[in-house]
C-alpha cells in the first residue's frame, strides 16, 4: 500500500535546505567574495564636502539644496553603495560619507551636475588653439576635383539598415543615434564635399556658416582642449544660443572642439536611461546608454534630427548633419544623422570601445536617470576616514554577542537537554545563512556591514531563540497530556506555527516601517533585523521542525530518555508536583 501523500518527509526538507545553503556558498565563491564588506565605521572610507557655486557667493535657496541632497542620495543608492550618508551642512555645503577605500569614482559621480543637452553642430576642429583662424579642412580644389572631408562617406549608401558612418571625429558611430524610424529616408550619396570650416573667397579667412556670434567664433579659435579640464566657459549654459565646447573623451590621441547651436532638447525631458551592452548585429562595439524621452522631449528630438538629416541630404560632410550630446559642457558624442528623422522618442549615447566601457555607461546612465542637480558644486575638501574607533567598538560588540549567544546555548542545554542541541544547531544554520546573505548582498548590491547592522544581527539571536522555545513548549505540552511523541511533534507544530508566524510578522513589519522612516544607522539596524527575521522563518520551517521530526524516530528521543528533554513521565510528574505544591499552598492560606 502506498503511503499517504500528506505524510511529512523531513529528510527531503533538510536536503533541500542544505542544497540551498550550498548554492548560496557557490554564488559567493563565483562572485570572488568570501568576506562581508564593511561600512564606514568599520573599514574607513571617504568624506567629501561639496560647496554650491552661486553668484557673488550668495547662499543658495534651501529648496534647491534639499533637492540636491535627494538626487545625490538616489545616485548613491543607484550605484549600490550601502551605508553611505548624504547630509546638508550649513546653508551651502553638502557632506557625503562613502564607506570603503578607492571611492573617488563614487564621490565624483555623486557631485556631477549631469546637465544633459542636445545641440546641433555648426563647426568642428582639432582642439588646439589657432592664431589666425581655424585650420581649414580639405575642400573642393579649383580644378573641380574633390577631396573627401573626414565627415564624408567614401561610398554611396542606398541601404536603410543601420551601418556605421565616419564622422569628423574619425570614429564609427551609430547612424541614427538610436533605432531608425519606421520609414527612414535612404542615405544620400556623397557628392563634392564641403569643408567643416570654410575659407572666405575674398579674404581667405575661415567662415562658420550659420554662426552669428563672433565672440563664440573667437572663443572657438583660441580654445585649447588639450590643457585644463576641457570645460569651456559658458558651454554648460542652456540660455546661450551658440557655445564652444570640447570633446569629453580623447580619441586616437586627439581631442576635438565644436561650435554648437541652440539647445534643442534638455536632459530634464529624459524619462529613463539604461546602460546597454555592445550589439554586434548593429555594428556597435562599445557599451551605450539608451535614453527614452517624454512626450515633449520626443517631439524636440524629432525636430533636431529632422534638421540634421536635411543638412546631410544637402551635403553629407556638413557639420550640421551631426547632433552633439553635451554633458556638463562637454561633448560626449556627436553622431551623424544620415537616415532620416528619429521620431520614436528613443536615443542612444555611445562612443569608442576603449573609453565607453561598462562602468562608464552604467555610471552615466545612473546620473542621468535621476536628473541634473539644480546647483553646481565644487569639492571644498576630501578626507580619508580611519576605522580605528569602529574596530574597537566592533570588538566590544562581538564580545557582547558571544556572551549572549553563550548564555542562550547554556540555557537551552540545561533546560531542554538533548532537545537543546536542536536549538543550538538551528542557531548555527541561521548564522551560516546570514553570513552567506551578507556576503552575497555585499557584492551584489553594495551592502556594507556596519555597527548598527551588527547590533541588529545580535538582537536577532533572541528572536530566533523565541521561535524554538515556542515550538518546544508546545511539544512538551502535548507530551504532558499523554500523547505519543510522533503525533505530538505534528500537533505541536500546528499550534506553534501560527504563533511563530505572527510574532515574526510583527517584528518584520516593525523593521520595515523603521527602515523607511529612519535614516543612517537606524535604517541599517532595521535592515539587519528584517533580514534575520526572514531567515528565522526559513530555519524554523526547514530545519528545526524537520530535525525534531527525524529525532522523534530514534530510540533516544522516541522512548523518552531522561537526557532527551522529552521524557513524558518526568514532564507529567513535574506538572503534577507543581500542581500539588500549588494546592497545598492554597489550603494553608485558606
Can you say whether the dihedral through the CA atoms of 148, 151, 153, 154 is positive or negative?
Answer: positive
Continuous H helices in 2-116? 10-31, 40-43, 62-78, 104-111
pLDDT score of 241: 92
pLDDT score of 101: 60
Q: Strand pairing of 206-207 and 198-199?
A: antiparallel
pLDDT at 271 over 70: yes
pLDDT score of 462: 77
Q: CA 511, CA 529: separation in Å to the nearest integer?
A: 6
Residue ranges, comma separated, of all CATH 3.30.70.3400 domains in the chain are 40-109
Which CATH number among 3.30.1490.190, 3.90.650.10, 3.30.70.3400, 3.40.50.150 corresponds to the domain 40-109? 3.30.70.3400
Residue 465, classed as helix, strand or coil, is: helix
Query: Residue 115 CA to chain centroid, in angstroms?
Result: 20
Q: What is the 3-state secondary structure (H, E, C) of 507-569?
A: HHHHHHHHHHHCCHHHHHHHHHHHHHHHHHHHHHHHHHHHHHHHHCCCHHHHCCCCCCCCCHH
pLDDT score of 346: 84
Mean pLDDT, the chain, as a whole number? 76
pLDDT at 546 over 50: yes
pLDDT at 314 over 70: yes
Three cell numbers written together for 561: 530518555
For the structural domain made of 387-579, what CATH number should be given?
1.20.1640.10
Q: How far is CA 2 from CA 9, 69, 553, in A?
A: 14, 66, 20
Quick one: pLDDT band at residue 502, thresholds 50, 70, 90? Answer: very high
pLDDT at 332 over 80: yes
pLDDT score of 140: 32
Quick one: pLDDT band at residue 587, thresholds 50, 70, 90? Answer: very low
Three cell numbers written together for 330: 562637454
SS3 content of the chain, % helix, strand, coil (to 5): 50, 15, 35
pLDDT score of 135: 41
Residues 30-76 have pLDDT tens digits of 888 788 877 777 777 778 888 888 776 778 888 888 888 888 887 77
| Cβ contacts of 474 within 8 Å, gap of 6 or more | 492, 493, 495, 496
Residue 330, classed as helix, strand or coil, is: strand
| Cβ contacts of 181 within 8 Å, gap of 6 or more | 339, 340, 341, 342, 343, 344
Quick one: pLDDT band at residue 160, thresholds 50, 70, 90? Answer: very low
pLDDT score of 105: 67
Which letter does DSSP use for residue 269 in this model? G
Residues 340-351 have pLDDT tens digits of 788 888 888 777
Q: CA 281, CA 77: separation in Å to the nearest integer?
A: 33
Residues 78-116 have pLDDT tens digits of 666 656 778 888 888 888 887 766 566 676 677 777 788
Residue ranges, comma separated, of all CATH 1.20.1640.10 domains in the chain are 387-579
Candidate from 308-312, 325-329, 492-496 with smallest mean pLDDT: 325-329
pLDDT at 574 over 70: no
- Please say whether the beta carbons of 272 and 346 come within 8 A: no
Q: CA 80, CA 115: separation in Å to the nearest integer?
A: 22
Number of H helices, E strands in the chain: 15, 16
pLDDT at 337 over 80: yes
Amino acid at each position: 500500500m502506498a503511503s499517504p501523500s500528506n505524510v511529512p518527509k523531513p529528510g527531503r526538507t533538510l536536503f533541500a535546505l542544505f542544497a540551498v545553503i550550498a548554492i548560496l556558498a557557490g554564488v559567493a565563491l563565483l562572485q570572488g567574495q568570501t568576506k562581508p564588506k564593511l561600512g564606514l565605521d568599520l573599514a574607513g572610507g571617504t568624506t567629501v564636502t561639496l560647496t554650491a557655486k552661486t553668484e557673488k557667493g550668495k547662499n543658495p535657496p534651501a529648496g534647491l539644496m534639499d533637492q540636491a541632497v535627494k538626487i545625490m542620495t538616489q545616485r548613491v543608492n543607484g550605484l549600490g553603495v550601502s551605508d553611505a550618508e548624504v547630509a546638508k551642512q550649513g546653508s551651502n555645503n553638502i557632506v557625503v560619507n562613502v564607506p570603503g577605500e578607492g571611492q573617488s569614482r563614487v564621490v565624483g559621480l555623486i557631485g556631477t551636475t549631469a546637465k544633459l543637452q542636445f545641440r546641433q553642430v555648426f563647426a568642428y576642429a582639432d582642439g588646439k588653439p589657432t592664431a589666425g583662424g581655424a585650420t581649414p579642412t580639405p575642400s573642393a580644389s579649383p580644378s573641380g576635383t574633390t577631396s573627401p572631408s573626414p565627415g564624408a562617406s567614401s561610398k554611396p549608401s542606398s541601404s536603410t539598415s543601420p551601418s556605421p558612418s565616419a564622422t569628423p571625429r574619425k570614429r564609427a558611430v551609430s547612424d541614427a543615434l538610436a533605432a531608425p524610424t519606421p520609414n527612414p529616408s535612404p542615405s544620400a550619396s556623397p557628392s563634392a564635399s564641403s569643408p567643416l570650416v570654410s575659407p572666405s573667397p575674398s579674404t581667405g579667412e575661415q567662415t562658420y556658416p550659420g554662426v552669428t556670434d563672433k565672440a563664440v567664433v573667437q572663443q572657438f579659435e583660441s580654445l585649447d582642449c588639450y590643457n585644463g579640464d576641457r570645460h569651456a566657459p559658458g558651454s554648460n549654459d542652456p540660455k546661450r544660443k551658440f557655445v564652444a565646447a570640447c570633446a569629453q573623451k580623447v580619441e586616437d590621441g586627439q581631442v576635438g572642439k565644436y561650435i554648437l547651436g541652440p539647445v534643442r532638447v534638455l536632459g530634464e525631458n529624459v524619462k529613463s536611461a539604461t546602460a546597454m551592452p555592445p550589439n554586434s548585429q548593429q555594428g556597435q562595439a562599445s557599451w551605450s546608454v539608451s535614453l527614452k524621452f517624454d512626450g515633449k522631449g520626443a517631439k524636440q528630438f524629432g525636430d533636431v534630427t529632422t534638421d540634421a538629416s536635411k543638412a546631410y541630404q544637402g551635403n553629407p560632410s556638413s557639420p550640421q548633419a551631426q547632433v552633439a550630446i553635451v554633458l556638463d559642457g562637454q561633448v560626449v558624442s556627436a553622431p551623424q544623422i544620415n537616415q532620416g528623422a528619429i521620431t520614436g522618442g528613443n536615443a542612444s549615447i555611445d562612443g569608442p570601445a576603449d573609453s565607453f566601457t561598462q562602468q562608464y555607461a552604467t555610471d552615466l546612465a545612473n546620473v542621468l536617470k535621476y536628473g541634473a542637480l539644480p546647483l553646481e558644486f565644487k569639492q571644498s575638501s576630501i578626507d580619508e576616514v580611519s576605522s580605528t574607533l569602529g574596530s574597537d567598538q566592533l570588538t566590544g560588540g562581538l564580545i557582547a554577542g558571544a556572551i549572549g549567544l553563550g548564555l542562550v546555548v547554556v540555557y537551552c542545554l540545561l533546560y531542554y537537554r538533548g532537545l537543546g542541541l536542536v536549538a543550538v544547531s538551528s542557531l548555527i544554520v541561521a548564522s551560516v545563512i546570514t553570513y552567506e546573505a551578507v556576503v552575497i548582498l555585499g557584492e551584489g548590491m553594495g551592502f556594507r556591514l556596519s555597527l548598527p547592522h551588527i547590533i541588529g544581527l545580535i538582537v536577532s539571536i533572541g528572536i530566533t531563540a523565541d521561535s524554538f522555545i515556542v515550538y518546544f513548549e508546545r511539544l512538551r505540552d502535548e507530551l504532558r497530556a499523554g500523547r505519543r511523541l510522533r503525533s505530538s511533534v505534528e500537533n505541536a507544530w500546528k499550534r506553534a506555527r501560527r504563533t511563530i508566524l505572527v510574532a515574526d510578522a510583527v517584528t518584520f513589519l516593525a523593521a520595515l516601517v523603521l527602515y523607511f522612516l529612519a535614516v543612517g544607522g537606524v535604517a541599517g539596524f532595521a535592515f539587519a533585523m528584517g533580514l534575520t527575521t526572514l531567515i528565522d522563518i526559513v530555519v524554523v520551517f526547514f530545519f528545526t521542525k524537520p530535525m525534531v521530526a527525524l529525532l522523534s524516530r530514534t530510540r533516544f528521543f522516541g522512548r523518552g530518555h531522561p537526557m532527551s528533554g522529552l521524557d513524558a513521565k518526568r514532564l507529567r510528574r513535574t506538572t503534577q508536583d507543581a500542581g500539588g505544591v500549588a494546592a497545598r499552598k492554597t489550603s494553608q492560606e485558606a
